[in-house]
Amino acid sequence: MKKSHQKLNQVINNLVKNRYWRKNRAFQILLGFTCVFIVAFVWMTMDKATTQIATASAFTYQTSWLGNTIGKGKLRVQNNIEAMYVTGNGEIYTNSHWDEAGGEAGIYKDGKVIGFLEDLHGWNRLGGKAVTVNSKYIYVAMSQGGMSSQKEGYPPDGKTWYSVRRYNLAGKPVPFAGGNGWDKSMLIISEKGEVTGLATIGNKLFVSNAAANIVGIYNTETMQKMGSFAVTNPGGIAIDPQGTLWIIQNKKGSTTGKIIHYDQTGKKLPQQIVDVVDPTAIAIYKQDRLLVADNSIRQQVIIYNIKNKPVQVGTFGTKNGIYSGVPGEVQNLKLYGITAVGADQTGNLYINNNGFNKSGTDLRKFSSSGKLQWQLLGLIFVDNADTDPKSDGVNLFTKHEEYWMDYSKPAGKQWTYKAYTLNPFKYPQDPRLHTAPDGPIFRRIQGKPFLFLTDMFGSLLQIYRFQPTTDGKIAIPAGMFVGTSDKGKAINGNWPPHQPSKGEWIWRDKNGNGAFDQNEYDNSQDYPYIGGWWVDTKGDVWKTLRTKDGIRHYPLQGLDSKGNPIYTYNSMQKEKTPRIFSDLRRIEYFPETDTMYLSGFTAEHPASGDDTGVVGSEIARFDNWRKGNRTPRWRTVVPYDNTGKREISTASMSVAGDYVFAVTVKTAEVYVYKAATGKLVHKFGPGPEVGGESGWVDIPHGIRAFRRANGEYLVFVEENWQGKVIIYRLPI
């Protein structure tokens, strides 16, 4: 049915575009009757409860994106590069633990993505944090998890092989006699910990096994073990022109790291480097130079002359990296979260920044004189964007980054990466370092900017404030809500300190130090299953629970002396769930008009299972909410699963201006409903600018909409699969 409707519309559109027919009065009358007939036909043949089409007029929009240099196709920038090897001619080979689209290990050159190594995704396979290359093979650290089916070539369920996998230079696995894995291309190194360093010279492959405190030596062709030697907590390895090894001894606990010198037999040589606090990567540079990435507060690459006794002869990058100058402000020479370094034979430098807690890939090439040659960005993973309303859609925020938009530029070229808002050195208890938040809601409260973040499971709401005079672009931890756990503490583990032993809590940074101190918690206990969070334009926080009295309203009690929003359980208001809902999910309230939008499952359209990540089956609007009205102005049924297969369901909703926007989980289609009536007026998906593709939308705030002053709508949608945020521009 859908295809026939599309074909009829296409015929009419083609006729309308014809100049002769547009001028023909008789045709115009005929066309009018035809349109009426088609609309009536569509109305009668489609389920009115799920698709109330209010218009058949032409609808144009533009698709754009932010957060990834490349917006479509298979060759886009991967997530979170953990290691890289640079050849003499500037080819870059990378490795990462996980890439949503299966690009765990990549090949780059001249600022372009050349390809990815095969078969490192799925079947419990992951990449890792080491890679090296010789003239014939690529050697990649990876892991193979167990399979309950006990298939041949897999470890048993519950076990993991931490391995080195061998590939040819085209990126295809190369098996060897005695190899492991389904295709016999894996060399098992450990079942206790991952491979942390790789390097080759001649017929030798050196492998750091930190769990066993050894470096193993293997034949590059046969992959047979040739020997090993002891190194405490070994990491990255670099081999100098004399054929000797420089090995990172990784930082552990409160100790600092160092670089130790060995010959190829494992004999320890007297030279060592001990003045690097947190060495995370190492590479040879210009014959007798060694590059060492220091990922401490210094955030620099330190350069040593290693011809004799190692002597520091320079540094690369601004001291204190992105936290120098205006903290958080992105500049070419400001580094942050350095995971990999390399150099080619002409002296060009290659540096990868991941930020902290896997914020995303920022791969840069510099000339030998220090000038930026190119930059590749893959900053987005399980995230969305929202705008500072004061900027009218120009200033966008994701969970870690700030962007500036220029909408006069072509799609995908409109965004500029302006700031990285996390500072782990000043605020080591920042929740973003200890949790996996997403779905930003940006608000101006009493004229001041605040960033709110939820998470994939809706279990928490984080609050950040900004103080440019002291912290530049950094988002300062200001508060946090968590839901009740039915198993004890709301958050397991040692973070955050001093949290209540059970129930739920609100934390507020009363002393302004961004840390969770003992006297800063307000605690309570409630129903443990949360449907969704909302922060309205006044700064009030709303929460839905999946129960009959499921609405919690936390009115803003003002800002404290440090600028933190104040919320308390004493001031919290409980409100009944409207009777139409049996399982309440999302909530958006607008105090300016006293309008409430709710979504959930209803008796008429119940859930087919415990589908926790969706909005439900209906969205309803309530006018005069604060005056006590609980009779909906309208109800509309949104795409939802009634088969148990979860093929069609709605992930998220967002209200802006005259419309309610909703996006589906698996197809990432955006449904647009008229806010005044609840009628469906448009449906669209990713356009040609992003290859017509999107991954699943799987976070509660996977869609955010904003109406600009000129009437244009911006709709931001999570695009986890290809590592970006899709931006739709609508002239409606």
Taking every pair of C-alpha atoms in the chain, what is the biggest distance, in angstroms? 95
Structure tokens at 441: 């809601």
Residue-wise pLDDT tens digits, 696-732:
999 999 999 999 999 999 999 999 999 999 999 998 7
- What confidence category does residue 171 fall into, taking pLDDT thresholds of 50, 70 and 90? very high
Instruction: Give the chain's radius of gyration (CA, Å).
Output: 28
pLDDT tens across 561-607, in order? 999 999 999 999 999 999 999 999 999 999 999 999 999 999 999 99
Q: Average pLDDT over the chain, rounded to whole?
A: 91
Q: What is the pLDDT of residue 710?
A: 96
Rounded CA-CA distance 138/169 in Å is 6
Q: pLDDT at position 646, please?
A: 75
Partners of 634 in beta bridges:
621
Residue in the block written with tokens 């919690």: 552
Mean pLDDT in residue range 668-685: 98
Evaluate if residue 149 carries a pLDDT over 80: no
pLDDT of residue 36: 35
CB 594 within 8 A of CB 627: yes
**507-532: pLDDT as tens digits:** 999 999 999 999 999 999 999 999 99
Cis peptide, bond prior to residue 496, ω within 30 of zero: yes
The pLDDT value recorded for residue 244 is: 98
Name the helix (H) or strand (E) containing 12. helix 2-17
Which pLDDT belongs to residue 27? 34
How many other C-beta atoms can be found within 10 angstroms of the C-beta atom of residue 614?
A: 27
Asked if pLDDT for residue 372 goes beyond 80, the answer is yes
Q: What is the mean pLDDT of residues 214-237?
A: 98
The highest-confidence range among 2-6, 17-21, 27-31, 587-591, by mean pLDDT, is 587-591
Task: Please provide residue 522's backbone torsions phi and psi, each rounded to the nearest 5 degrees.
Answer: -120, 125
Element spanning 20, H or E:
helix 19-23
Closest C-alpha among 701, 696, 700, 695 to residue 722: 695
The pLDDT confidence band at residue 6, using thresholds 50, 70 and 90, is very low
Confidence of residue 642 (pLDDT cuts 50, 70, 90): confident
307 vs 314: CA distance, rounded Å: 15
29 pLDDT band, cuts 50/70/90, is very low
Sheet holding 521-524, edge to edge: 437-445, 448-455, 460-466, 475-485, 503-508, 521-524
* Three-point CA angle 284, 339, 163, nearest 5°: 85
**pTM score of the predicted model:** 0.91
> What would the mean pLDDT of 153-163 be, rounded to a whole number?
94
Q: Around Cβ 685, how many Cβ atoms within 10 Å?
A: 18
Query: In terms of Cα–Cα distance, which of 492, 530, 491 is closest to 507?
Result: 491
Position 43 pLDDT exceeds 80: no
**Cβ(400)–Cβ(381) below 8 Å:** no
The span from the CA of 224 to the CA of 155, in Å, is 20
Rounded distance, CA 373 to CA 343, Å? 13
Q: Which amino acid is at 498?
A: H
Token pair 């969970």 in the structure block, residue: 399
Q: Specify the 3-state DSSP secondary structure of 10.
A: helix
β partners of residue 425: none
Q: Cα–Cα distance between 81 and 113 in angstroms, integer?
A: 13
